[in-house]
Amino acid sequence: MKTLLIILSDRISDIVAKGEITDRYYNPGDVFDEVHFLMIGDDRPDDRHLQKLVGRARFHVHNHPAGRRVFLQSLGWRPLLLRHWASGAVRLASHIRPSLVRCHGAHLNAYVASEIKRVLGVPYLVSLHINPDEDVRGRDAGFVERLRNTAIRTVERSALRNADLVMPVYRPIVPYLKRLGVRRYEVCYNVLNPAHLTEKTSYALHDPVRIISVGRQFREKNPDNLICAVASLPGIHLTLVGDGGYHDYLRRVAEESNCQDRIIFQRALPNDVLCSMLPEFDMFAVHSEYWEISKSVLEPLLCGMPVIINCRKGAPVPELTQEICMLIENSVEGYREAILALIRDDDMRERIGLAAYAHAQAYWIPEKTEARFAEIYRKHMLPKVDA
């Protein structure tokens, strides 16, 4: 029996609350017969959602909390001082006898994986979903946040260097890995919804024109310029899907711009529903200062939607080019002119959408990305692990 141990520092319950549940996300290709979740915390997600995430596999949930006491006892997560805390997880792994250990992100979960490998010889893989230099430590806002981000540096470095493979989910993460001296890595794009992403078949505009924007609502992804641009353009409806610290502020922006009757706010939608409804919109628009190509942008590209996104401050995202989306200045005028251009030029609207679809199908289609992860898992896992 092939068994996978997944060690998570993030809470699956938070992912569920946002509706981001994708078939077989934690068991691509149904490679494994049994999946064990080890939560670095007290999260106990709903079994119904976990079953969807692991496909046909049986699953089990375990918890291994790491609170303030662990931080203090380890003098700020010093690796050698964390071994006593991690030993409980190592004992659990010796009982589970996994064929492979998998980490999403490189926090204390990756440290535990490295300890399991050191003691039991089980290989482990780590996927990275953000460039910590740019989008974590480069944006920390308070003393406590800076302290935690500084403390985790040594854990990150050793866990990533010792991993059998690190899988950054987009190319802007690679410079961070090179700085750390990580040599075993492959860019592996996120596996997106395998059943509900469908091609946009018509580029005829709706009346009123429909725009959708999806993303977390906070400072670096603040879509207020988009709202103000829509406010200045009668006959356009905007749907904003997402939640965050800026949610109430954005509602006030809509009210103060007197366009609240043309803007729909959805704090969360199930991913199946969101992906199914994307082609019903005329265009997708978003703001992000992160050095990334997020799932929320990949999804409309895979549908062949015309996408409007700002040129971020700093190095550009290499995956995002003018050939497959409209790159604009993050200003009210930038969004306004891009929306007007797509409305007025039928040929351009269709050309950008079709180019996005062709490119996305070549690089990010769920069948290909899922198959790649499944192949990597089979390559690295052990057929049997002796206690």
Query: pLDDT tens digits for 76-130?
Result: 999 999 999 999 999 999 999 999 999 999 999 999 999 999 999 999 999 999 9
Phi, psi of 335, deg, nearest 5: -70, -40
Name 380's bridge partners.
none
**78 by DSSP, 3-state: which?**
coil
Residues 128 and 277 in one domain: no
Q: Is position 197 within any domain?
A: no
The number of beta carbons lying within 10 Å of the beta carbon of residue 67 is 9
144 pLDDT band, cuts 50/70/90, is confident
Q: Across the chain, what does the average pLDDT equal?
A: 94
Residues 180 and 240 in one domain: no
The predicted structure's pLDDT at residue 47: 86
150 pLDDT band, cuts 50/70/90, is confident
Pairs from 74-81 (Cβ < 8 Å, separation ≥ 24): 76/147, 76/150, 76/151, 77/108, 77/111, 77/151, 77/152, 77/154, 77/155, 78/154, 79/111, 79/154, 79/155, 79/158
User: Which residue do the tokens 């946009």 mark?
Assistant: 200
The predicted structure's pLDDT at residue 377: 98
The predicted structure's pLDDT at residue 189: 96
Q: Is position 200 within any domain?
A: no
The predicted structure's pLDDT at residue 138: 66
276 pLDDT band, cuts 50/70/90, is very high
The predicted structure's pLDDT at residue 341: 98
Residues 172 and 269 in one domain: no
Least confident of 71-80, 174-183, 203-212, 261-270: 71-80
Q: Is position 184 within any domain?
A: yes
Residues 154 and 253 in one domain: no
Q: Is position 134 within any domain?
A: yes
Residues 322 and 216 in one domain: yes
Residues 71 and 100 in one domain: yes
The predicted structure's pLDDT at residue 140: 61
User: Which residue do the tokens 């106990």 mark?
Assistant: 44
The predicted structure's pLDDT at residue 387: 43
Phi, psi of 189, deg, nearest 5: -70, 150
Under DSSP, the state recorded for 324 is T
Residues 37 and 171 in one domain: yes
pLDDT (mean) for 154-163: 94
The predicted structure's pLDDT at residue 95: 97
- Is the per-residue pLDDT at 274 higher than 80? yes
Alpha helical stretches, state H, the chain: 12-17, 47-54, 68-73, 83-96, 108-120, 132-135, 143-151, 153-162, 174-180, 224-231, 247-256, 271-277, 295-303, 332-344, 346-363, 366-380
What would the pLDDT profile of 323-344 be if each residue is shown by its tens digit?
A: 999 999 999 999 999 999 999 9
* Nearest of 101, 111, 285 to residue 209 by alpha carbon: 285
Alpha helical stretches, state H, 222-320: 224-231, 247-256, 271-277, 295-303
Residues 237 and 351 in one domain: yes
Residues 355 and 278 in one domain: yes
The predicted structure's pLDDT at residue 17: 84
Q: Is position 159 within any domain?
A: yes
* Structural domain that includes position 97: 3-192+366-380
My answer on whether omega of the bond before 306 falls inside 30° of 0, hence cis, is: no
Residues 69 and 21 in one domain: yes
Give yes or no for a contact between 36 and 4, defined as CB atoms under 8 angstroms apart: yes
Q: Is position 202 within any domain?
A: no
| CATH number for position 357 | 3.40.50.2000
- Is the per-residue pLDDT at 167 higher than 60? yes
- Is the per-residue pLDDT at 183 higher than 70? yes
Percent of the chain residues topping a pLDDT of 90: 86
Residues 178 and 222 in one domain: no
Domain tally, the chain: 2
20 pLDDT band, cuts 50/70/90, is confident
The predicted structure's pLDDT at residue 141: 63
Q: Is position 8 within any domain?
A: yes
Residues 27 and 173 in one domain: yes
- Is the per-residue pLDDT at 386 higher than 80? no
Q: Is position 133 within any domain?
A: yes
136 pLDDT band, cuts 50/70/90, is confident
pLDDT (mean) for 355-377: 97
Q: How far apart are the first and last CA of the chain?
A: 15
pLDDT (mean) for 157-163: 96
The predicted structure's pLDDT at residue 384: 60
**264 by DSSP, 3-state: which?**
strand
pLDDT (mean) for 34-44: 95
The predicted structure's pLDDT at residue 385: 45
